[in-house]
Structure 1
Amino acid sequence: MSDSLARRKQWARFVPAVYSGLLAAVIAGPLLGPGYLLLRDAVSTPRSYLTDSALGLGDAAPRAVPQDAMLAALSPIVDGGLIVKTILLVALWAAGYGAAMLARELLRVSVGPQLVAVTVALWNPYVAERLLQGHWSLLTGYAALPWTALAAYRIRRAGGSDAMAGRGAVGSWGALAGCFAAAGLTPTGALLAGSTAVVLVGRRNVLGALVLLSAASGPWLAAALSGAGTEPSDPAGIAAFAARAEPALGTLGALAGLGGIWNADAVPGSRTTPLALIATALLLALVAIGIRSTAAIKTVAIRGRADDIESDTAATDSAPPDVTEIGATHAACAGDTDRAAVRVRRGLLVLAAFAVVLPALGATSWGMSGMEWLVAHVPGAGLLRDTQKYVALAMPAYALCAAAGCRAVAARFAAKASVGSRTPGMAVAATGFIALLVLPLFDLAWGVGGALKPVHYPVGWQRVAERIDGPGDVAVLPGGMFRRFPYSGKVAVLDPAPRMLPRDVLQTGELPVHGRTVAGEGARAREVQSALLHGDSAQRLGELGVGWVLVERTTPGPVGESKTTLAQLDEVYADSQLALYRVPDSADHFKESQSTHRAIAYAAHILWAALVVGGLLLAAVLRQR
């Protein structure tokens, strides 16, 4: 490999990686400072504990598995807030860089279009809305999608019998396992990555992909098989969590623009103005320019560099160096490689279409009726109620199409200019595409207009955690799962108690949405909350397995006649923010039958961790060789 070719290869990988990191820092910049992420559904704490709820064995559906167990295992070593912020920043970086690598490998585009793909993957309403909703772990699944598509493509094309092909296939399967596990930080992420792989990996490899997906999904599958949260969900959640129309767009238009989250409060300000229409029109126009070339059959594998210079018009690194070095002995494989790329690109386009159309249908009256029947009769179907989550599946195709469109526009510039002006043509096209994507959504910058910023917990939380040293679960007052603390800002946030305390904290799972309450699966938690609010006896709390009651004094919420119950308990800690009471003669009545399920859950989590670390290391080592 010549020195100039080596430099171009390094440039082709270095620039998109750095650009993706810069965009991630611009988006999540406020989190680079000290403090903890506490915004709506996002709760990070200095230390969390490996309780049954963290393993997914509580009453509620295992929606934060294996996320909570991972934080419980790592936070005694590294501050939990730092772990969450690091994962979020890495996820944002990986989403952008993965889109660039996908465009590079499937389209053979140069640096300029790769930067456009990075921008599409990171600077869009989906990322903004999920950040505002606090879905940092879902964005990990989102980030895994382009890498999952890339691994599926490499598996599909690695059919050779030589040693190099064999190592490539093993490395690609390792990469797919790592992608599944990383995406599987939440159940929804696992479904996103699994759907992508099943569509793209090819019929011969579907069974293997499903086996890997099942292993990577082991933590929440084990929790579901144990009976945790397997009651049917409240059908009222379907209408509450249906995709939402945006100004002048309607539901379909909002989804096509990668927006439309159910919570109107978790939307950047620009999406509540005519800029939503402008941004969506520009995004779809840039995507439409490249759809034809993304779906087209195009051979670049052997003639590589000459063909790419003609089609790419960017002289700097037109074709990936590894492609240009393919010898004549590999010529027979070129057609298969190209067909694999075409099928993967077309599969991504099909996924994008379904990812937009199906959530839109789910927001219609008859679509909601069908979903209501599903969640009322099929345990676990509640995972599907927030249909806008699945719009993430459109991102890889959108990134490819925008990159292809940038190349096509640059080619037109080059056709009208002299040969020496082709590189500026690509630079102008890429800069224009990036500006049109970024400017209408300007308030995604710096934590979505400053909404994403760290908080600092009062020292009382640590003192309460230190004093919980006996049996029994924890009940919390006021009632409900959401809080408004003086230090947490104006929006309601999930109660940090379940992640802050060393015993299971009982939560009903009830969600207030649009003035209605969506019932949760926590049957025992509802009984405990009712007992507290009605002023029942301490004995009744003990019978329900409650050993502790925590009163969070600075947040609004129902307390009912709980003073009657609290008067019968032993106060062990109190300050201006928190008060902790011990329930006399409490025991772990509800823990004895969990030992077998706990062992299975531990094994599933260990397997998941092995897939994350082992799969990605295997892929990296074999890729280098």
Structure 2
Amino acid sequence: MPLTSLRSARATKAVLPLWVLLVSAATLWPFWLAFATPSSGYAFMVRDMMIPARMPLNDLNEGLSSSAPRAIPQDTLLSVFLPPLSTVWIVAAMVLFCAMAGMVYTAWWVRRTVGASLPVQMVASLLLVWNPFTIERMLQGQWSIVVAMWLLPAIAYTSTFKQRGPMLFFLGIAAFTPTGWMLGGVIALVCARSWLVAGAQLFLAAPWLLVTVFNGSDVSADSSSAAAFAARAESGVGTLGALMGLGGIWNSEAVPDSRTGWSAAIGVLLCALMVMGAWGAREIIRRHSGVLVVAALAIVVPFLLSTSAGVSVMGLLMDSVPGAGLLRDSQKFVALAVPGMTLLLARAVQVIAGWLNSGRWLVSSATGILIVLTVPALPAEMSPLKAQRLAPEWTQIVNAVSQPTHSSTLLLPPGNYRVQDGRPVVDPALKLLPGNPIDPGFLIVDDKLVDGDPTAIALLQDTMNGEDHLAENSVGWVLVDRDSIANGTDTSAMDQLLAQHQVVVKSDRYELYHIADATPHAHENSSLPIFLGVGLYWFIFGLGLCLSVWQIVLWRRKEFAPTPDQ
């Protein structure tokens, strides 16, 4: 190869990694910034995301409680396998690694499927990270679902081209939560059509599957919540248009301010360009029909489930099928469209460049601007994801509850969420306290009570009404968060009840009471299902990691092997 050509090839290889680093720094800067925070006393706190620097192994993440195992194996793995390092650092590293790996594999995916040149690879990889799904789900605190979405092109690539080690590795990361498990599994099964994928998925589901089957975790959901969790329409484009642009999350409060009707319309325009990419691409459609069909269904099905008839069907499903509540937030499954969307967008950019007889750098740049305009202020709107300092009282609270009283902790006021800097966040006590913090399991959506453990709810109501049934229900501790009590709430009966018990911690915000002579909390469930399940999960994940490392070693040997001329 001539020296000038060799230098050009090396320069091209360097551009993509620099691009990936630049985009991740611009969009995910709160996670880069997390490495500058101390190793304790900080946490990621955004709605469903509560990741403290230290997370104990309690009844919730050990699968011993009766509540649905929504955060298994995520919280279990963060509690068991990673205690030496700050969990904040670990999660930040995971988010950044998955974003950058996803962007690189997206570039490889479009290069190998449609022959995309470097500028086209760059714009396709930009779409993966800079989109409404990323920011809306991040602001909802569902970081692990976003991570799974970013890895879908990587799973599609490794499944299609039989790279089994990386495929298992990426499937393992996606399976951090049941939703991610479903997303990764669908793409892998469609692309690989292999029994290996089906078997691996069974092992990766083992943690929450075994807990549900053997510990009898409650996986039921209120059918009335189907409407509350349906995909949401956006101004000017409706529900279908919102989904076409990877938007439409059910919670309007998680939508960034820069996501306007114009932004949604640009998302629809981009989707139209992707459809254009299918024009005349019969061979591509034939070879990757599975991914493209999934992309279409990922948009159409959530739209149909948002209609009145679809809401009724979902409600019926939730009433009759255990665990169907996992499907009610149907908008999250629009993530399945991403591998097909990136493929078609890359093809469309190349076709348009040919029609206009223009350079692909120009068309790719224009397309990149459109992608940015779907969420113009995305970098600034990521600011709520910065790691925040926990209240200093938590050290006293955790130390007190860590005393071996073999009892549960009741959390007041009723509800799973607390107010942090004016925003709701999952109650930190559920993640910070050892033992058995009682998870009531209910949500308030549009002023309606959704789901919930009837026993826990009844106990909370009795306590708020001044009826003391704490000791007989194995409650040895009561934690009150005064700042999260709604204005106008009458707490006089609760205050009179708690005044009869010992105050252990008291500050302007938090009060911790010790309930003497509480009946010991008896564990009806076993820890065996979660640890057996995590072992099976770890086997697949570890196998994928080892095979991936071996593949890299072989590639490096081949890359630096001397040529015959040498």
TM-score scaled by length of structure 2: 0.90
CA distance in 2, matches of 1:12, 1:605: 42
For 1:514-572, what per-residue CA distance to the aligned partner results, in whole angstroms no more than 9, with x for missing partners? 2222122x2332233123112222xx322222221111122224546222331232222
Q: Corresponding residue for 1:52?
A: 59
Q: Corresponding residue for 2:164?
A: 173
CA distance in 2, matches of 1:2, 1:533: 80
Query: Identity percentage over the alignment?
Result: 32
- Please state if 1:526 is matched with 2:461: no
Q: CA deviation at 1:573?
A: 2.0
Q: CA deviation at 1:13?
A: 4.7
Q: Quick one: structure 1 residues 561 and 442, their matched pair in 2 at CA, closer, same or farther if it must change by over 3 Å?
A: same
- For 1:483, the aligned partner's letter is R
- Please state if 1:463 is matched with 2:396: yes
Q: Quick one: structure 1 residues 286 and 38, their matched pair in 2 at CA, closer, same or farther if it must change by over 3 Å?
A: same
Which of 168, 173, 191 is the equivalent residue of 1:200?
191
Aligned-partner SS, 1:436: helix
- Please state if 1:507 is matched with 2:458: no
- For 1:80, the aligned partner's letter is T
CA distance in 2, matches of 1:10, 1:613: 33
For 1:85-136, what per-residue CA distance to the aligned partner results, in whole angstroms no more than 9, with x for missing partners? 2222223223322211211222232211110111111111111110111111
Q: Corresponding residue for 1:310?
A: none
Aligned-partner SS, 2:292: helix
Aligned-partner SS, 1:233: coil
Q: Corresponding residue for 2:509?
A: 577
Q: Corresponding residue for 1:600?
A: 529
Q: CA deviation at 1:74?
A: 4.6
CA distance in 1, matches of 2:537, 2:329: 25
Q: Quick one: structure 1 residues 367 and 548, their matched pair in 2 at CA, closer, same or farther if it must change by over 3 Å?
A: same
Aligned-partner SS, 1:292: coil
For 1:120-172, what per-residue CA distance to the aligned partner results, in whole angstroms no more than 9, with x for missing partners? 111111111101111111112112211111121023xxxxxxxxxxxxxxxx2
Which of 85, 100, 107 is the equivalent residue of 2:107?
100
For 1:249-291, what per-residue CA distance to the aligned partner results, in whole angstroms no more than 9, with x for missing partners? 11111111111100111111232333322x2233123313322
CA distance in 2, matches of 1:129, 1:392: 12
CA distance in 2, matches of 1:529, 1:22: 49
Q: Is the 8 A contact 1:246 1:271 kept in 2?
A: no
CA distance in 2, matches of 1:5, 1:59: 64
Q: Quick one: structure 1 residues 347 and 553, their matched pair in 2 at CA, closer, same or farther if it must change by over 3 Å?
A: same
Q: Corresponding residue for 2:481?
A: 552
Q: Quick one: structure 1 residues 132 and 198, their matched pair in 2 at CA, closer, same or farther if it must change by over 3 Å?
A: same
- For 1:262, the aligned partner's letter is W
Q: CA deviation at 1:195?
A: 1.0
Q: Is the 8 A contact 2:178 2:205 kept in 1?
A: yes
- For 1:594, the aligned partner's letter is N
Which of 233, 245, 255 is the equivalent residue of 1:257?
245
- Please state if 1:543 is matched with 2:472: yes
CA distance in 1, matches of 2:337, 2:64: 33
Q: Is the 8 A contact 2:408 2:521 kept in 1?
A: no
- For 1:482, the aligned partner's letter is Y
- For 2:64, the aligned partner's letter is L
Q: Is the 8 A contact 1:37 1:85 kept in 2?
A: no
Q: Corresponding residue for 2:369?
A: 435
CA distance in 1, matches of 2:76, 2:45: 18
Aligned-partner SS, 2:111: helix
CA distance in 1, matches of 2:248, 2:439: 28
Q: Quick one: structure 1 residues 489 and 273, their matched pair in 2 at CA, closer, same or farther if it must change by over 3 Å?
A: farther
TM-score scaled by length of structure 1: 0.82
Q: Quick one: structure 1 residues 370 and 406, their matched pair in 2 at CA, closer, same or farther if it must change by over 3 Å?
A: same
CA distance in 1, matches of 2:510, 2:120: 54
Superposed CA RMSD: 2.2
Which of 361, 367, 370 is the equivalent residue of 2:313?
370
Aligned-partner SS, 1:528: helix
CA distance in 2, matches of 1:151, 1:600: 31
Q: Is the 8 A contact 1:548 1:581 kept in 2?
A: yes
CA distance in 1, matches of 2:467, 2:344: 62
CA distance in 2, matches of 1:212, 1:3: 46
Q: Quick one: structure 1 residues 95 and 276, their matched pair in 2 at CA, closer, same or farther if it must change by over 3 Å?
A: same
CA distance in 2, matches of 1:382, 1:560: 37
- For 2:247, the aligned partner's letter is G
Q: Unmatched 5+ residue regions in structure 1? A: 156-171, 299-341, 418-424
Q: Corresponding residue for 1:621?
A: 550
Q: Is the 8 A contact 2:31 2:95 kept in 1?
A: no
Q: Quick one: structure 1 residues 527 and 6, their matched pair in 2 at CA, closer, same or farther if it must change by over 3 Å?
A: farther
Q: Corresponding residue for 1:117?
A: 124
Q: Quick one: structure 1 residues 154 and 531, their matched pair in 2 at CA, closer, same or farther if it must change by over 3 Å?
A: same
Number of aligned residues: 542
Q: Quick one: structure 1 residues 378 and 473, their matched pair in 2 at CA, closer, same or farther if it must change by over 3 Å?
A: same
**TM alignment of 1:206-605, pairs within 5 A:** 207-277=195-265, 279-292=266-279, 295-297=281-283, 343=286, 345-413=288-356, 416=357, 425-448=359-382, 450-468=383-401, 469=403, 470-484=405-419, 488-520=420-452, 522-537=453-468, 540-557=469-486, 559=491, 561-591=493-523, 593-595=524-526, 598-605=527-534
Q: Is the 8 A contact 1:238 1:372 kept in 2?
A: yes
Aligned-partner SS, 2:278: helix
Q: Corresponding residue for 2:24?
A: 24
CA distance in 2, matches of 1:478, 1:134: 22
CA distance in 2, matches of 1:213, 1:590: 33
Q: Quick one: structure 1 residues 11 and 400, their matched pair in 2 at CA, closer, same or farther if it must change by over 3 Å?
A: farther
Q: Quick one: structure 1 residues 61 and 115, their matched pair in 2 at CA, closer, same or farther if it must change by over 3 Å?
A: same
- For 2:61, the aligned partner's letter is A
Q: Is the 8 A contact 2:129 2:150 kept in 1?
A: no
Q: Unmatched 5+ residue regions in structure 2? A: 555-566
